[in-house]
């Protein structure tokens, strides 16, 4: 340890992922290891398969991979592309840029529709581009964690239904915290990771596959692939087996996380994320940190607040950590210094966001930022919750 933040304060992990793990889930991950191909593990994988499909909004198979989220972003591309094929990328933030980088690394010819950071891709521009060229796939990010903008997947999916083009979506920070209806919206592959709204430790990831995507995945002429080969994963999915040794402990955690989500009820989980994100955003605005981006497409799993000059997000992050043992995020991209990001995903409550706002106010004051009145952030959040 190089720093020792105020010992009087409990450690509060308030990032937009990884997030704090509920105790029930943490304990599940500590269970004894079982045979990764035995009946105990097949029962776990089978239950996860049944419980996770409603979060994707699909009746199709959901594949399990031992990787971080970026690994399944790559899996979604390496299984459907051949080098030289065309991809249309809708990029509006750091993770959309990463999707572009992966596609280019695999040899795809990538056209990018870049929308302003904080705003969602415009389906009309996508329709226009689709009329001019044929693409193997359209790729985008459902919930752009770097800016807090949510993409209208239904509108874009509707443009692709009658085409051969596949629709690939990164919902790593969205799935489990906000509605996703893969089958109804015409999404072909959705990828997600364990450490965001799914409330588990990092290192486990999932990818769902439509029939339309499966037909392309099964072709022999795709990119060279081995560990992330979805043909291998699909071969075992009905038998509740993974191609390689699965992350047993993380899957114990995921089984418990999904049980918790369904005990609360999916609509209730989504409503809680919506309500708490809205209240935290209102609190930040009251403290003089305006919401970043287009309010019409604001995320429910992350609150992104603008930081007015001469203040910097880095100074707030440092003060929140060193003084209140509370970990929030800045940006590691062109918004560096200018936005503060706080996660509103997982098993959080009103108490969590009110604590965030209380410590944020104290930090802002300590850094010389004029706060309109004492407690105004907390008050605005309470008003929004009422």
Euclidean distance between CA atoms 346 and 354, whole angstroms: 16
Select 99 or 359, whichever has its Cβ closest to ligand PLP.
99
Contact string 104-143 vs ligand PLP (x = CB under 6 A): -------------------------------------x--
In the complex, residue closest to ligand PLP by CB:
69
| Interior/surface letters 337-353, b for 16+ CB within 10 angstroms, e for the rest | bbbbbbbbbbbbeeebb
Of residues 333-362, those binding ligand PLP (CB under 6 A): none
Asked if 173 interacts with ligand PLP (CB under 6 A), we say yes
CB of residue 368 to ligand PLP, shortest distance in Å: 32
Quick one: which segment of 25-33, 68-76, 128-136, 269-277 binds ligand PLP (CB under 6 A)? Answer: 68-76
- Out of 29, 76, 140, 145, which residue is the one contacting ligand PLP (CB under 6 A)? 145
Q: How far is the CB of 73 from ligand PLP (least distance, A)?
A: 6
Nearest to ligand PLP of 302, 360 (CB atom): 302
Choosing from 95, 135, 206, 359, the residue that interacts with ligand PLP (CB under 6 A) is 95
Shorter beta-carbon distance to ligand PLP: residue 85 or 144: 144
Distance CA 341, CA 292 (A): 10
Please tell me whether residue 68 binds ligand PLP under the rule CB under 6 A: yes
H helix intervals, 221-312: 230-237, 248-264, 266-286
Which parts of 219-258 interact with ligand PLP (CB under 6 A)? none
Cβ distance to ligand PLP smaller for residue 74 or 361: 74
Select from 231, 200, 201 the least CA-distant residue to 213.
231
**Using CB under 6 A, which of 85, 152, 170, 256 touches ligand PLP?**
170
Contact flag: residue 70 with ligand PLP (CB under 6 A) = yes
Burial class (CB in 10 A: 0-12, 13-18, 19+), 268: exposed
CA nearest to 149, candidates 269, 272, 303, 15: 303
The interface region with ligand PLP, picked from 64-72, 107-115, 241-249, 282-290 by CB under 6 A, is 64-72
User: Could you tell me how far CA 283 lies from the centroid of its own chain?
Assistant: 23
Residue 88 or residue 141: which is nearer to ligand PLP going by CB? 141
d(CA 2, CA 23): 27
φ/ψ of 304, rounded to 5, equals -115, 115
**Sheet containing 189-193, strands listed edge to edge, beginning at the edge strand earlier in sequence:** 62-65, 205-209, 189-193, 166-170, 137-141, 86-91, 109-114
Neighbours of 283 (CB within 10 A): 30
Q: Report the Cα 167 to chain-centroid distance in Å.
A: 17
Q: How far is the CB of 48 from ligand PLP (least distance, A)?
A: 18
Determine contact, residues 102/73, Cβ cutoff 8 Å: yes
Of 61 and 69, the one with the shorter C-beta distance to ligand PLP is 69
User: 4: helix, coil or strand?
Assistant: coil
Do the beta carbons of residue 64 and residue 204 sit within 8 Å? yes
Which stretch in 42-50, 67-75, 152-160, 260-268 sits in contact with ligand PLP by CB under 6 A? 67-75
**CB closer to ligand PLP, 175 vs 311:** 175
Q: Residue 127: what are its φ and ψ, rounded to 5°?
A: -60, -40
Total residues contacting ligand PLP by CB under 6 A comes to 13
- Considering only 14, 15, 17, 103, the residue that binds ligand PLP (CB under 6 A) is 17
CB closer to ligand PLP out of 92 and 225: 92
- Nearer Cβ to ligand PLP, position 170 or 361? 170
Q: Give the number of other CB atoms < 10 A from CB of residue 128.
A: 11
Instruction: Provide the angle, in degrees to the nearest 10, between the axes of the packed helices 376-385 and 350-366.
Output: 160
The stretch near ligand PLP (CB under 6 A) out of 167-175, 227-235, 332-340, 354-362 is 167-175
Query: Which of the residues 291 through 320 are near ligand PLP (CB under 6 A)?
Result: none
Is residue 174 classed as helix, strand or coil in its secondary structure?
Answer: coil
The site for ligand PLP (CB under 6 A) is made up of 17, 68-70, 95, 141, 145, 170, 172-173, 193, 196, 202
């Amino acid at each position: 340890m190089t720093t020792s933040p105020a010992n009087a304060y409990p450690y509060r992990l308030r990032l937009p992922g990884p997030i704090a793990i509920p105790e029930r889930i943490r304990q599940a991950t500590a269970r004894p290891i079982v045979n990764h191909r035995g009946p105990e593990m097949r029962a776990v994988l089978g239950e996860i398969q049944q419980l996770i499909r409603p979060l994707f909004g699909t009746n199709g198979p959901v594949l399990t991979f031992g990787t971080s989220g970026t690994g399944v972003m790559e899996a979604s591309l390496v299984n459907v592309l051949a080098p030289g094929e065309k991809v249309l990328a809708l990029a509006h933030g750091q993770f959309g840029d990463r999707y572009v980088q992966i596609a280019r690394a695999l040899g795809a010819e990538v056209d990018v529709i870049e929308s302003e950071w904080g705003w969602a891709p415009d389906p009309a521009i996508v329709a226009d581009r689709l009329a001019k060229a044929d693409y193997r796939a359209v790729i985008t990010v459902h919930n752009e964690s770097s800016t807090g903008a949510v993409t209208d997947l239904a509108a874009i999916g509707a443009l692709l239904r009658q085409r051969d083009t596949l629709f690939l979506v990164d919902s790593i920070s969205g799935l489990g915290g906000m509605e996703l209806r893969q089958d109804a919206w015409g999404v072909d592959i959705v990828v997600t990771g364990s450490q965001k709204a799914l409330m588990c430790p990092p290192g486990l990831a999932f990818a769902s596959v439509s029939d339309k995507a499966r037909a392309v995945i099964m072709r022999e002429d795709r990119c060279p692939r081995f560990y992330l080969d979805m043909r291998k994963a699909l071969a075992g999915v009905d038998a509740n087996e993974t191609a390689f040794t699965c992350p047993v402990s993380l899957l114990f955690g995921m089984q418990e996380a999904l049980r918790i989500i369904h005990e609360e009820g999916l609509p209730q989980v989504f409503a809680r994320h919506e309500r708490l994100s809205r209240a935290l955003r209102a609190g930040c605005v009251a403290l003089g940190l305006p919401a970043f981006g287009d309010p019409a497409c604001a995320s429910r799993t992350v609150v992104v607040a603008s930081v007015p000059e001469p203040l910097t997000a880095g100074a707030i992050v440092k003060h929140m950590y060193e003084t209140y043992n509370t970990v929030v995020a800045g940006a590691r991209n062109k918004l560096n210094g200018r936005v503060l990001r706080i996660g509103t995903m997982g098993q959080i409550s009103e108490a969590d966001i009110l604590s965030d706002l209380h410590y944020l106010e104290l930090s802002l004051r300590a850094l010389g930022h004029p706060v309109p009145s004492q407690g105004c952030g907390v008050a605005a959040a309470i008003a929004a919750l009422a």
